[in-house]
Every structure is written in structure tokens, then in C-alpha cells.
Amino acid sequence: MAFISSILYIIILLNTIAAIITVFREPREIAATWGWLIVLVMLPVIGFIIYFFFGRRIRKKRIFNLRAQETVGLQELVEQQQRDLAYTKEKIGPAKFRFKNPYQEELASFFLEADDAIITENNDVEIFVDGQEKFDRLKEDIKNAKHHIHLLYYIFNQDEIGEEIMQLLIDKAQEGVEVLVIYDALGSRMTRNSFWNKLHEAGGQSVAFFGYTLGFINWRINYRNHRKIVVIDGEIGYVGGFNVGDEYLGKGPLGAWRDTHIRIAGDAVYSLQSRFLVDWNAAVKEEKRREFIPEYFPLTETKGENTMQIVSTGPDSDVQKIKFGLVKMILMAKKSVWIQTPYFIPDESIQEALSIAAMSGVDVRVMIPCKPDHPVVYRATEYYSSQLLKTGVKIYVYQKGFLHAKTMVVDGEMATVGTSNFDMRSFRLNFEVNAFVYNEQFAKKVEEEFLHDLKNCTIANEKYFEKQDRWKKFKQKFARFFAPIL
């Protein structure tokens, strides 16, 4: 018996030493470090298997390959705009861009410097909150494509809407239109290779982002391309929360689906095009890479009124650009900050920003779903919601189906719509993209949709959380420990 006890002590000691070495050999945020240390120590052997798939950082060589794909076609414009902003700040001449107030210009300047996110004007932006309306508009645009169709989706399912979109892509490929599709290998894991082969036979191309190495094993489960981008003829672009799948039409197990997506016609499409091409070049072999051609970036005559930037973030960058931008927007708010997100697991900087704003008299509202699609994530969402409630943040629980929208509107003057959730995964681990729009009319539309959704919400006040049973509260607190690695 003593012999067995000694063996167990040795195993525990060796496991603890191995856990410490494993976690601390790679630089990461302290919260994530402690989270992984708990997993490795509490789950001997199994914890290391989980870490192998979910915890390892992207290799430096892989990061270099991702960073090496420079912003296709836009670098000179970025440098020119950086000079223009400096020119404006020095009061040498009139403002180069249409900003309503100085803090919009500050935010745009940050994104231009941190992400090479060009500032574009004259954009016409259409907002969708219903899946059927979004897909009907998308199908119409695909049918009218003349030169190219570029799609990037985290999820592209082989179901009714997936088959319908695929048939349209096949038809256009057969007409000679360039069709390129990027899908995330994990997000689209249920879609069979035969589905993509039909597109290849028609002359189109597709590629899995961070695909499966041995056909069934994916070594990079933790780093996913969560972006949703469509570019058609370099003139029309889509970005937002909808993937391609029947569930986004309310036909899945979660029932009615509430999301937000935008369609852009104007110069901001250049940024979406550049982002797509960078991701394409990073995912395919060298002979299939795309270079700059004028047809990808055609001159447009759109006369919309939206000034905007397309901002990307991912684990290939040391700067959490979208998160930093969100923090800056929150801290600049004078009247209101309204947020919709399906996963609300804010890190300390977001928590502090929201708390400071709320305690300063800003109307801070956060809307979350009433049901989970990821149980552990949802319990963590409930935990952080209950904590921020104490600082004056108002929490609303959407009851009419599943809320998947990822939006924030500040002071009714500027708004962001995109793929990034308010959680640590989107900020640090996923490849994400958001549109930041500096236009009061667009911001008011986002506010109107928020107010409309409030009619289908329950207010999550102190009594709401007090009524929850002890088991649920325990699960919330337990999920919090794993928040940095969810």
C-alpha cells in the first residue's frame, strides 16, 4: 500500500512539474496561464491531451507565414492616409475625412496605425437582422456577378441553404466567373469533401483554413478563422454574424435566429477584398496564390454617406486590435454604450471600461441570449453579467430565439458590426473582422434594432440572478475559472 502511495505521489509531482514547464514556456496572459495550469494539474494525462489540441500557440514559423502576406493592393493608400491624418492634426489644412467629432478621428487613427485599416468614405451600407433577407440579397448579388466571387465563412454547411448557395457558385464558375471559397475546417467539419468537389469540377476553388492534417485530426483546434466575408466583383461586400447554414434561418435546434449582417457598396469593399486575399494566400499553396490585379479593386461611383474602416485581428498579431478599439469606444462614450453579443466573457480591460462608463453615468446596456449553444460558455456569460450588474451595467436577456448578433453602438454616433464576440476567444485566439462605421444615420439604425429587440427581452436584475438555484450559481463560478481558455 505504501508502495502504491509513493508511486501516486511521484506521478502527481511529475505531472505538476510538467504542467508548470508546459504552461510557462510560452508567453501568454496571466489569466490564461493560470487557467491552463489548473487544467493540467487537475486532469493528469487527459489535461495534456486537451492542451495539445487547444492550448499550444501557433508556431513562430506559421505566424511568420501569415504575417508575410502583406495587405494586398492597399499599402500605398495606408501610408498616404497616415500622412493625411498627421497633416490634419498639425492644423496645416482642412480635415481630410468626414468625422463628426475628434474622438472618431482618434479611433480611426488608432486603427490606421495598428491594423493598416484604411479610412473609406462614400459607402452605402445596408443592414440585415433576418437570415432570409440576407441570403436573398446575397443570392441576387451572386447571380449578377461578372468577374469574381470571393467567400470566407467559418461555417458552410451541406444543408438546404448550403446546397442552394453552392449551386449558384457552380453555375457562375461554369460561366467563367472566378469563384474562391475559404471555409474553416473545424466550423465546417460536418461538410463532406464531395460537396467541395462539385465546385472544383465546375472550375471553382475552395480551401480549408487550418485543415485536418491526417484526414481526421486537427492540430490547431484552438485557432479558427471565424470571419464571414463575401466580395463580389470588388464592388459589393458582406460582413457580420451569419454563416451559411439552415440554423441561421431559424431551422436549427435553437429555433428563431437573431443576427446582424451588413452589405457594403463602396470603397470599404477594398479592405474586405484585401483581407480575403491575405487569408487565401495564407491558406493555399504558393502556385494558387492571388496577386493584385485591377479587377479585384475596381473604381466605384457609389455616393453613400458612410465613413468606415474594416479592422481585422487574430493570433498572428501581438495587438488585440478589435478589443483595443472597443475599449477606446467605451471610454470615449458620453451618453450610451449598447452591446449585443452571444458570448459575453470580457477580460479585465473590457470589464473595467464598462464599469467606468456605467459608474460615470453612461447608459451601458448588454444584451445576451436566453439559451446556450455552448453550455460552459453560457454559464461564464451569466457569471460576468451578474458581476457587471453591480457596477451599474444593465443586462438584458433576449427571449425570442437565439441572439447571435455582434454589435456595439456608442452615443448614437458610431457603431461596429462584425464577427467578433465580446469574449477572450475572439479577442485573442480567433481570426476576426469588424466594420467600424462613423455615421449617425447608421448608428441610429443599429440603435433602433436594439430597441426593437428590447421588447423581447427580460431584464436581468439582482432578483433575476438571486432566483437561480445553487447548482446553477456553482456552474457559473466554475465556468469562470476556465473563461481565459474557453
Closest CA to 329 of 440, 413, 444: 413
Active site residue 233: yes
**With 0-12 CB in 10 A as exposed, 13-18 as middle and 19+ as buried, what is 45?**
exposed
Active site residue 316: no
Whether 436 contacts 401, CB under 8 Å: no
Separation of alpha carbons 378 and 52, rounded Å: 24
Active site residue 267: no
Separation of alpha carbons 339 and 388, rounded Å: 13
Whether 402 contacts 294, CB under 8 Å: no
Active site residue 148: no
Q: Check 141, 411, 423, 453 and give the catalytic one.
A: 411
Active site residue 115: no
Q: Check 134, 228, 261, 445 and give the catalytic one.
A: 228
Whether 84 contacts 303, CB under 8 Å: no
Q: Check 184, 233, 279, 453 and give the catalytic one.
A: 233
**With 0-12 CB in 10 A as exposed, 13-18 as middle and 19+ as buried, what is 138?**
buried
Q: Check 261, 321, 323, 404 and give the catalytic one.
A: 404
Answer positive or negative: Cα dihedral of 324, 228, 54, 424: positive
Whether 199 contacts 173, CB under 8 Å: yes
Q: Check 134, 226, 261, 475 and give the catalytic one.
A: 226
Q: Which residues fall within 8 angstroms of residue 83, CB to CB, at 6 or more apart?
A: none
Active site residue 477: no
- Taking the C-alpha atoms of 170, 174, 177 and 181 in order, what is their torsion angle to the nearest 10 degrees? 30
Q: Check 406, 423, 445, 475 and give the catalytic one.
A: 406
User: Catalytic residue positions?
Assistant: 226, 228, 233, 404, 406, 411
